[in-house]
Amino acid sequence: MSLDHLALRERRANGLPVEPTGPRQHWARRTLASPWTWVTLGATLIYAACLLWMYQTSIQETPVEGGVIPGLNASAIRRSAQLALPTLAAWIGVFLLVDRFRPMRPVLWWLALGWGACVSTASSMVINTWAGQEMAIVGNGDPATGARAAVFVAPFVEEATKATILFLIAMALRNRLVTRLQAVALAGLSGAGFAFTENILYYSRVIVYSSTTIETGDPEAALAEIVMLRGLKTAFGHPLFTVLAGIGLIIALRSASKVVRILAPLAGFLLAAGAHMVFNFMASTGMDPNVMAVVGWIGMVSLLIHLVRQALAEGRRHRARLTDYVAMGWLPEEALVAFSRQRTRWHSLFNAVSHGWRPLLATFRLQRTMADLVHLRDSQLRGLVDAAGHGRERELLDRARELWPIAVTDPKVQRFHLPKLPNPVQWWRRRRASRLAAPSGQGPIGSPQYSPVDPRWAPPKG
């Protein structure tokens, strides 16, 4: 369906996507023409440049009064990355599991994770060091390591740099960022990426310092202690703080009130920076790490309970909005169960794997289409989308009707197709029966086809 210029302007003003028209192009041409390809490539190059700059900066020696502080080395960084990787992998699994019902594009996951690990850490290093120097703080050759900088500067700088990617994604794709689960997933990935790079730097410093300073005692024991502290006990830090800013942002995006749209992101950022400030203050004053771990993980459990409630509320929202279309006769009643229960959606995808590539792709696209339809209807009821949403609504309904006959929507009826394993006994019996039924090449004795010499006999070849 082609749109005129006014309809296109209304779509873009409401943040609604415009489907491409015309014949479907080859996948290679679509990939090259897609802006996501170039966004991913450009962001990856920026991330690589930031990592290279941080590496070049960290391996340099820092002159201090009475000597120099040795820089890091490649061996220490490589080992630190191996030690920090399990924590990052665990957080990635958690936040990808949180992103449900309408998962974000893997490109957005990569943008959030890479931004936190590369751009946010590099910019925070520059800003924290500059702010520490302006405050005339001295701490072991690195002005940013002073207690006042850690408490009053670092929380605001780091939370601002980590949350920047969330605001950029929201400005570009506000029609896609529609649930708290999505905001938590992206914010958590950004925070986990930041913690990963920061852990590498901390572990590397311990490795280099303990190997050059005899007073530290056992280097392996010192390294194991900080890995246990940062990789497990206080691993909640950066992901939890960034999630608070993400929740404030999504509240603003889903509200029609201008006051809420202004105050909610600010409140979320201040809450994240305040929690970060309290954490750094407790660490700077030498509080028992076990106490910090207990307090922090209680906050994570509270967040987990909130996310579970949000997942249940999201299922109820899907059922309520789909009920509107069922009542109007635009969708069958089976859509209520097929797309409002997450376990049914996963079961359908699991069964679709055994039906072939085409049903699997249709099932995945149908579930995303129905989720888009639900959130579009929810935005219309909230007053976030005006009459321009009706055209988009018709597009989604037409697409759903096209995909429905191909996709797996009822996993109890469209069951998983078990692979048929070969039966050697039946194969041998069929082969033996075929041999017995094969014609011998000559008729019975006395018949015109009879020959005393088997016509299949012949001299040996060669």
Residue 87 CA from chain centroid, whole number: 16
State residue 436's pLDDT score.
64
State residue 21's pLDDT score.
64
State residue 100's pLDDT score.
78
Give yes or no for residue 54 having a pLDDT over 90.
yes
Give yes or no for residue 149 having a pLDDT over 90.
no
Residue 364 · residue 349 · CB < 8 Å: yes
What is the band of 36 on the pLDDT scale with cuts at 50, 70, 90?
confident
State residue 230's pLDDT score.
92
- pTM confidence score: 0.83
The SS3 assignment for 427 reads helix
Instruction: Enter the tokens of residue 346.
Output: 């996963």
Per residue in 267-321, pLDDT tens?
Answer: 999 999 999 999 988 888 878 888 888 988 999 999 999 999 998 999 899 999 9
Give yes or no for residue 328 having a pLDDT over 50.
yes
Residues 6+ apart with CB under 8 A from 142: 62, 69, 129, 132
Give yes or no for residue 454 having a pLDDT over 80.
no
CA–CA gap between residue 206 and residue 202 (Å, rounded): 6
Per residue in 66-120, pLDDT tens?
Answer: 667 778 889 999 999 999 999 999 999 999 999 877 888 899 999 999 999 999 9
DSSP string computed for 306-323: HHHHHHHHHHHHHHHHHH
Residue 280 · residue 296 · CB < 8 Å: no
Residue 414 · residue 408 · CB < 8 Å: yes
Give yes or no for residue 144 having a pLDDT over 50.
no
The SS3 assignment for 9 reads helix
Give yes or no for residue 215 having a pLDDT over 80.
no
Residues of the chain with pLDDT > 90: what percent? 47
State residue 102's pLDDT score.
80
Q: Once rounded to an integer, what is the mean pLDDT over residues 341-362?
A: 90
Instruction: Enter the tokens of residue 59.
Output: 């391996």
Lowest mean pLDDT: which of 153-167, 189-203, 445-459? Answer: 445-459
Give yes or no for residue 459 having a pLDDT over 70.
no
* Orientation angle between helical segments 180-212 and 219-228, nearest 10 degrees: 170
Mean pLDDT of the chain: 85
Instruction: Enter the tokens of residue 445.
Output: 């004795």
Q: Once rounded to an integer, what is the mean pLDDT over residues 428-441?
A: 66
